[in-house]
Chains A and B, each alone.
Chain A
Amino acid sequence: NAGVTQTPKFRVLKTGQSMTLLCAQDMNHEYMYWYRQDPGMGLRLIHYSVGEGTTAKGEVPDGYNVSRLKKQNFLLGLESAAPSQTSVYFCASSSDAAFYTDTQYFGPGTRLTVL
């Protein structure tokens, strides 16, 4: 049982390049989330999904797209990376059984640097 895994762990991009971050969970969770963590700002929600085939915007969605084609996977895409997107990205998942009471399980993070 791996929990929540993220690929890659580290990445360096040049401005304007694109990339996709992959999140996978093996807990059969309905809900999945993408956050970014920046110094002095806490974690902020980028996008989330309440089930396979669904996505919704979070607090800071601009510059990112997501897809949830399979229940266990949640992809975060950067179409044209900007230095402001340098951050640590965390994926999380949670059960629908008790959505408002259950905790979120986090992956180990992806450290992205955009030059």
Chain B
Amino acid sequence: KQEVTQIPAALSVPEGENLVLNCSFTDSAIYNLQWFRQDPGKGLTSLLLIQSSQREQTSGRLNASLDKSSGRSTLYIAASQPGDSATYLCAVRANFGNEKLTFGTGTRLTIIP
């Protein structure tokens, strides 16, 4: 059974710093991995999607990497801003039973002005 872990559960950093969020998964047989952002009381917004054959994806100040063999992904946020404060979740889609996304429990990020 696929398990997705995100450590730490919460992270606070001063504004302007670069930071890395971590995601690990137990079964490397994945089709793709996504990073989502969730603001308090809101739904999820997709940030980046990485196919299993890709190593990284970039969007603006965000860069997501994937090392499938080691079961790890990172989300790098450059020059953090208070508006980046949110919970960040990663989710993997399996090769088998592709309708299902397995989510991590998220990292709650706070950017201190």
Contact = CB atoms under 8 A, between A and B. Distances in A.
Contacts of B102: 42
A34 interface: no
* Best-buried of B31, B46, B98 by chain A (most CB within 10 Å): B46
Contacts of A42: 4, 89, 102-106
B44 interface: yes
Interface string B85-113: 00001010100001111111110000000
Contacts of B101: 43, 45, 104
Interface residues of B, number: 24
B41 A109 contact: yes
B63 interface: no
B43 A107 contact: yes
Contacts of A50: 99
B105 A41 contact: yes
A42 B25 CA distance: 13
A109 B42 contact: yes
Contact of A104 (B4, B42, B46): B46
Interface stretch (A64-72, A74-82, A95-103): A95-103
Contacts of A43: 44, 89, 91, 101, 103
B98 A59 contact: no
Interface of A: 4, 31, 40-45, 48, 50, 56, 58-59, 90, 92, 99-101, 103-109
Given A42-B4, A109-B42, 8 more contacts: A43-B44, A43-B89, A45-B100, A90-B44, A92-B43, A100-B32, A104-B46, A108-B41
